Amino acid sequence: MQKVSKRQIENKKQIIESIYSVDEAIKLLKQTSTAKFIESVELHANLKIDPKYADQQLRTTVTLPHGTGNNIRIAVVTSEAKISEAKNVGADIYGSNTLIDDITKGIINFDLLIATPDMMPKLAKLGRILGPKGLMPSPKAGTVTTELTKTLNDFKKGKFEYKADKYGIVHINFGKSNFSNLELKDNLITLYNSIEQNRPSGVKGKYFKKIFICSTMGPSIELDLATFE
pLDDT confidence of residue 140: 83
Give domain status of residue 133, yes or no: yes
Residues 43, 148 within the same domain: no
pLDDT confidence of residue 70: 86
Given a contact cutoff of 8 angstroms between Cβ atoms, the answer to whether 82 and 71 are in contact is: no
Cα–Cα distance, 10 to 201 (Å, whole number) = 43
Cβ-Cβ contacts under 8 Å for 93 (sequence gap 6 or more) = 73, 74, 75, 76, 99, 109, 110
Mean pLDDT value across residues 130-150: 92
Q: Is the pLDDT at 177 greater than 60, yes or no? A: yes
Mean pLDDT value across residues 72-90: 95
Given a contact cutoff of 8 angstroms between Cβ atoms, the answer to whether 181 and 27 are in contact is: yes
pLDDT confidence of residue 87: 94
Mean pLDDT value across residues 45-53: 95
Residues 85, 149 within the same domain: yes
Mean pLDDT value across residues 124-128: 92
User: How many domains does the chain divide into?
Assistant: 2
Is pTM beyond 0.85? Reply is no
97-136: burial string, b at 16+ Cβ within 10 Å, e else: eebbeebeeeebebbbbbbbeebeeebeebeebbeeeebb
Residues 63, 175 within the same domain: yes
Give domain status of residue 164, yes or no: yes
CB count within 10 Å of CB 205 equals 5
CATH for 209: 3.30.190.20
pLDDT confidence of residue 172: 95
What range does the domain containing 186 cover? 16-68+160-228
Given a contact cutoff of 8 angstroms between Cβ atoms, the answer to whether 75 and 107 are in contact is: no
Residues 145, 201 within the same domain: no
Higher pLDDT, 3 or 205: 205
pLDDT confidence of residue 146: 94
Question: Of 2-6, 117-121, 169-173, where does mean pLDDT reach its minimum?
Answer: 2-6
Cα–Cα distance, 178 to 30 (Å, whole number) = 8
pLDDT confidence of residue 1: 47
**% the chain with pLDDT above 70:** 93
Give domain status of residue 7, yes or no: no
- 121, 156, 191: which is the final residue of a domain? 156
Mean pLDDT of the chain, nearest integer? 91
Task: Categorize the per-residue pLDDT at 63 as very low, low, confident or very high, splitting at 50, 70 and 90.
Answer: very high
Q: Is the pLDDT at 195 greater than 60, yes or no? A: yes
CA angle 154, 211, 177 (to 5 degrees): 60
pLDDT tens track for 8-47: 556 555 665 689 999 999 999 999 888 889 999 999 999 9
Give domain status of residue 8, yes or no: no
pLDDT tens track for 142-159: 999 999 999 999 998 889
Residues 151, 79 within the same domain: yes
